[in-house]
Structure 1
Amino acid sequence: MGNNRKQIKYIWMVSREYGDLAGAGGVKDVVSQLAETLARWSGRSVHVVLPCYGFMDSIFLGFSPLMDPEDPEKVLQCEIDMDHPDEKRREKVRYFFRKINRVSLYLVDSARFREKRAVYTYTAEEEQAEPWQKESMGHYDYFAMNILLQKATMELMVLLDARPDVIHCHDGHTAVLPAMIRELPGYRSYFRSSGCLVTIHNAGLGYHQEVADLPYASSVTGLAREIIDDHLLDGKFDPFLAAGSYALLNTVSENYARELQETKSDRLTGWLGHALLARKVQLEGITNGIDPSLFNPADTGEGENFSFDPGNTDDDLRGKKECKIAFLRDLQDGKWQEKQYGTLDGHGDGPLFTFIGRLSEQKGVDLLLEVLPVLFERRDNVQIMFLGSGDAGLEDQLKNFSSNTFWQKRICFIRGYSPDLARRIYCAGDFFVIPSRFEPCGLTDFIAQLFGNVPVVHLVGGLVKVKDGLTGIGYEKDSPDALLDALERALVLYTDKENLRLMQLQSVREIEKKYTWSRVMKRYVALYERAGLI
């Protein structure tokens, strides 16, 4: 090991999401799969801390109360300073522990987390109980939740006498921790040999976890007011900006890092990337990986006739066709009728486009809805399936489209999300549309490729990993015409079965060659080594 690197054996992570325990997007998959891959490497000890939300039953999930190392008969608990400008406040926390796939997992249990029914937003159930808690609205105390998690993590490490080589903080929700361990009395000395890496999973507006109340930001974090004032973006304390002074920062793809610091696309972040660059903070970029074994179409769970392998040259994907027909049949039978709007034709002969994700302008759903009438008019055998939720206006548009008699059995919308249903749509689909205006990395394109569902993507951010004409179909201009042209190209490809099959094969090979977590992890270890020197 060279003089400018630090050997990394002991890793802690802190995140609001993790695997099947708690999630709202791709962060849960990245954190859990990276942690588990690191843990499989000989000699590396990996620990992850996340909240115990109200929808989680820690005992049912196999966790046990963490006992006090000083008194094994006593449950480990402590009080965390959560001061307001005019009032000293403390909040009680305790911890639950379980090891999963060699990763040590800790849940932070507190009243603030227990009252939440979803990771980031209020639910319909909460709105019914308290009308001001509007469904899909972000938690009013988001910043307090973030600081409580970070302080509880810091205190847990001290109580367990844990001195990590590196602390990996995921997204703006945990990005204040590097400043706190370097600036708060006691912690500064304790963590003097621990480095920090902050991963920006999404730098878009609304994802920074910034706070406008500067006196409150100072009091609840414990950071001096001058530190708060030195890290303002558009007049608000910005955790990502603060992290840049105390940690190494990376984004989840090389191209997204470039866009944030070298192009006008950074306007979509409020110019965070340029603000960091002005402070001489260079963003690193590492494209997320994927564990192909978790998305194995040879195991559809529906019998041998439904099994297929897009990466096998000898597989004619007959099983994929059977998956498509079975899914269309279930749609017609109203299997998901409580959340289903419209249906699709059950013959399965025409191309099926699919969309799975958040219904928002960031995801380009408005553009897709704009071009669909034109596509339907030109091509009478095209169908499209939507799964997701989000912007109420876009949801209403989809409901109206799905009930339009002119497009009967050509468009279907199922509101919400379930992993099993998503898997069936990935299996059934011929093309997977990702018209995002910006996309830090993208995981759904990987998943679609592993299920032989060819991605049609806007070539921004991490989506440039889709190679136009080789592993998918890409377009560059953010416009309805460009998207429509890409969809038309997909329809031409659909009639060219030989080249379509070749593209499916090449997609899987590209993932196995470059993007498995065992490969991507090595780049993170190199960043950890550098972070350990900061």
Structure 2
Amino acid sequence: MKPLEVLAVASEMSPLVKTGGLADVVGALPAALRAEGVETRTLLPGYPDVIAALGAGETSLAFDDLFGGPAWLHEGRLGEDVIYTLVAPHLYARAGGLYTDANGVDYPDNAFRFAALAWVGAEIAQGALADFLPDVLHAHDWQAALAPAYLHYSGRPRPATIVTVHNIAFQGQFAKELLDDLRLPPQSFQMEGVEYYGAIGFLKAGLQLCDRITTVSPSYALEIETPEFGMGLDGLLRARANVVSGILNGVDEAVWSPATDSRIAARYDAGRLDRRAKNKATLQRRLHLDADPEAFVLGVVSRLSWQKGHDMLLATLPALMARRVQLALIGTGDKHLEESFLAAQDAYPGRVAVTIGYSEDMAHLIQAGADAFLVPSRFEPCGLTQLYALRYGAVPIVSRLGGLKDTIVDANEMALQAGVATGFQFSPPSAEALALALRQAERVFRDKETWRSLQVNGMKTDVSWRHPARRYAALYREAVSGDAVPSLSLPR
């Protein structure tokens, strides 16, 4: 049977370029889909790091003027994966981050930078390349979500379209005066098109005009249909609820495996958990934490933000430091949170270790050496770090919402008796509820037999891409074979 062919359009892809979980998903999914009879090619912006990693490649398409300058398409390979790189120096060749400058300010031309990505994705999807005509265009997040709109308004035959929402808080909204410059027709500026509260909404356009919508966990798919979590798009999502589904993320087992991980001090598996102690000792030594094998070490690897709930963690620190608890945190983000955690490190030397920035080596060591892993988010589409923690026997402590709720079995009394618990959930997302969950987790930690059962349960949980890939493959085939479901609207 001929493989189903998919064009994935995304703004980042691990290991080429990454700011968060989006890159991990885009990077891991093609290999998992291959086992399901789906061949994926991925279109990425031509950031300097991507071009450097892939090399010049073969030029397969050229544009004299792509939103302000010449551009061309390079075709290269990353292992078995075909990668298209949109080389447009006027849009992507800059020294700052992917989306913001060195000061953390959004680039003023982001509308054009990612409209270009979506435009070229739509061109490829409609046969611009001689050797590739995809059955499905899969757009990831707002940066690619204008592609279904370009396809819709082109009036030409098009493939099935799917938009995946990795975090609905980021939507891509721009001034309506850019409509013509973005190559969108006048009739597109309406509620049933790209218009969103008087502006142009990239994510809104994709959700309105695509054939199927996915997000990265079943619970988050339901949550974003509510005003509390929908960030203004809940009405549209309720109207299109019949095409919305939640598919959990997986993890790359080749990268995240304590049995083979070269980044940690001692390799281990569920049958050799005693070897984990060497990683804990190494973590304490490298981060200048007290050398205490009986300390309850909490690990955090995260973007520091209000969404992630780190202000709640700060509020609980004084009570934690009154007990035999240590904190190992690595992350970057909100400057006030960065400064507050650094102040906590100064206040509790040997008990709190804070690294501002990111280190892949340290991220792996924290997973391998911390006793518990903390994800106190106020909302969380899926989350990947708690899945890594399950793999590494760092018992997760998480908010009871979104993908955290879907992936962690709470260690309540019944779950402990049944032997199925894998971590701790708390609700509502508040400092008080977090403090109670931490106290409960520390109490169970002192019961070594019960704690070991939580670790083993987590390490035996299937968090691979196998099941999600089957779900995506089935969704692709459904979108290709079925009629496009019409887009509906509800009053705002």
Q: Is the shorter-chain TM-score for this pair beyond 0.5, marking a shared fold?
A: yes
Change (3 A) 1:302 1:400: closer
Candidates 1, 9, 15, aligned match of 2:10? 15
d(CA) in 1 for partners of 2:262 and 2:472?
Answer: 34
Q: Deviations over 1:169-211 (max 9, x none)?
A: 0001111101101212xxx32xx2410000000001xx00111
Corresponding letter in the other structure for 2:208: S
Q: Secondary structure at the match of 2:180?
A: helix
Tell me, yes or no, if the aligned pair for 1:260 and 1:274 is still in contact at 8 Å. Answer: no
Candidates 115, 119, 125, aligned match of 2:94? 115
Q: Secondary structure at the match of 1:249?
A: strand
Tell me, yes or no, if the aligned pair for 1:39 and 1:103 is still in contact at 8 Å. Answer: no
d(CA) in 1 for partners of 2:475 and 2:21?
Answer: 21
Candidates 49, 63, 70, aligned match of 1:78? 63
d(CA) in 2 for partners of 1:428 and 1:65?
Answer: 41
Normalising by structure 2, we get a TM-score of 0.90
d(CA) in 2 for partners of 1:24 and 1:193?
Answer: 31
d(CA) in 1 for partners of 2:467 and 2:239?
Answer: 32
Tell me, yes or no, if the aligned pair for 1:53 and 1:118 is still in contact at 8 Å. Answer: no
Aligned length: 466
Structure 2 residue aligned with 1:468: 410
d(CA) in 2 for partners of 1:26 and 1:523?
Answer: 19
d(CA) in 2 for partners of 1:458 and 1:264?
Answer: 19
Candidates 315, 326, 329, aligned match of 1:370? 315
Match runs of 1:5-404 below 5 Å? 9-42=4-37, 44-56=38-50, 58=51, 60-68=52-60, 76-82=61-67, 90-111=68-89, 112-123=91-102, 134=103, 136-156=104-124, 158-161=127-130, 162-184=132-154, 188-189=155-156, 192-204=157-169, 207-211=170-174, 213-216=175-178, 218-230=179-191, 231-247=194-210, 248-261=212-225, 263-266=226-229, 269-278=230-239, 282-301=243-262, 306-310=266-270, 312=271, 315=272, 317-332=273-288, 344-377=289-322, 379=323, 381-404=324-347
Tell me, yes or no, if the aligned pair for 1:98 and 1:106 is still in contact at 8 Å. Answer: yes
Q: Deviations over 1:75-129 (max 9, x none)?
A: x4223442xxxxxxx4211222222232111111111101243222223xxxxxx
Structure 1: give runs of 5+ residues left out of the alignment: 2-6, 69-75, 83-89, 124-133, 333-343
d(CA) in 1 for partners of 2:286 and 2:92?
Answer: 38
Corresponding letter in the other structure for 1:215: E
**1:516 aligned to 2:485?**
no
Shift of 1:237: 2.0
% identical equivalent positions: 28
d(CA) in 1 for partners of 2:39 and 2:227?
Answer: 41
d(CA) in 2 for partners of 1:458 and 1:447?
Answer: 16
Q: Deviations over 1:54-77 (max 9, x none)?
A: 344x2x424333244xxxxxxx42
Q: Secondary structure at the match of 1:33?
A: helix
Tell me, yes or no, if the aligned pair for 2:5 and 2:136 is still in contact at 8 Å. Answer: yes
Q: Secondary structure at the match of 1:159?
A: coil
Tell me, yes or no, if the aligned pair for 1:80 and 1:151 is still in contact at 8 Å. Answer: no
Candidates 424, 427, 445, aligned match of 1:494? 445
Shift of 1:32: 1.1
Q: Deviations over 1:280-331 (max 9, x none)?
A: 664211111123232111224379x712113x3xx2x222110111122122
Tell me, yes or no, if the aligned pair for 1:359 and 1:365 is still in contact at 8 Å. Answer: yes
d(CA) in 1 for partners of 2:13 and 2:58?
Answer: 19
**1:531 aligned to 2:479?**
yes
Tell me, yes or no, if the aligned pair for 1:387 and 1:415 is still in contact at 8 Å. Answer: yes
Change (3 A) 1:330 1:244: closer
Corresponding letter in the other structure for 1:467: V
d(CA) in 1 for partners of 2:346 and 2:20?
Answer: 29
Q: Secondary structure at the match of 1:425?
A: helix
d(CA) in 1 for partners of 2:409 and 2:48?
Answer: 42
Tell me, yes or no, if the aligned pair for 1:351 and 1:491 is still in contact at 8 Å. Answer: yes
Tell me, yes or no, if the aligned pair for 1:93 and 1:152 is still in contact at 8 Å. Answer: no
Tell me, yes or no, if the aligned pair for 2:54 and 2:77 is still in contact at 8 Å. Answer: no
d(CA) in 2 for partners of 1:401 and 1:386?
Answer: 11
Tell me, yes or no, if the aligned pair for 2:295 and 2:326 is still in contact at 8 Å. Answer: yes
Shift of 1:249: 0.9
d(CA) in 2 for partners of 1:274 and 1:150?
Answer: 25
Change (3 A) 1:326 1:398: same
